[in-house]
Amino acid sequence: MDIFLTIIGFILMLVGIIGSVLPIIPGPITSWLGLLLLYMTKVIPTDWTFLVITLLIAIAVFILDYIIPAIGTKRYGGSKYGVYGTTIGLIFGLFFMGPIGVIIGPFLGALIGEISFAKKDTSNAFKAAFGSFLGFLFSTLLKLIVSVIYLGFFINDFWTYKNVLF
């Protein structure tokens, strides 16, 4: 059972890293679930303080993921349509442009949202789209950093107890 929990935990770690870029999956929370599964094995001593602190960090990042793009958009004069456009642009960009679409899609989506729905002129729409894009990049980077750190914790604990697990 310990090996099964470890494997599923590692898969959740990888899904969490992917989820840090895709808006559909909550990256750090998924990565935290991977840590939790590792700590549920009989081999790894349960450290509730560590698990609670990492959970609180994952929840804080999850909440900030919704706040940071809005702050970036508002700071540069954008509207909610810029924020919506960023998310829609990410999804379309990923499916139609591949990995490069993760960068181009959010900006174009925010720009289209600002021009089409917020009725902004091109200059203000570019400025707002840039703010929305910066907020998106910052929140994505934050999620990615937390998920990779959680993967590092996972690998460190796994490596420490690998002889007992197998």
Q: Reduce the secondary structure of 40-53 to three states and give it as a string.
A: CCCCCCCCHHHHHH
Cα 39 to the center of its chain, rounded Å? 23
What is each CA distance from 111 to 25, 118, 144, in whole angstroms? 24, 10, 25
pLDDT of residue 133: 82
Element (H, E) at 166: none
Mean pLDDT over 42-69 rounds to 93
pTM of the model: 0.83
Binned at pLDDT 50, 70 and 90, residue 34 comes out as very high
**For residue 98, pLDDT beyond 90:** no
Mean pLDDT over 53-60 rounds to 98
Q: What residue spans of the chain are helical by DSSP H? A: 2-19, 27-39, 48-75, 80-97, 101-116, 122-165
Q: How many CB atoms lie within 10 A of CB 53?
A: 11
- How many separate domains does the chain show? 1
Q: Residue 138 is part of which domain span?
A: 2-165
Mean pLDDT over 103-110 rounds to 86
Cβ-Cβ contacts under 8 Å for 95 (sequence gap 6 or more): 101
Tell me how far apart the alpha carbons of residues 25 and 97 are, in angstroms, rounded to a whole number. 20
* Predicted confidence (pLDDT) per residue in 62-79, tens digit: 999 888 877 887 788 888
Structure tokens at 43: 């081999």
Residue with the bigger pLDDT between 85 and 54: it is 54
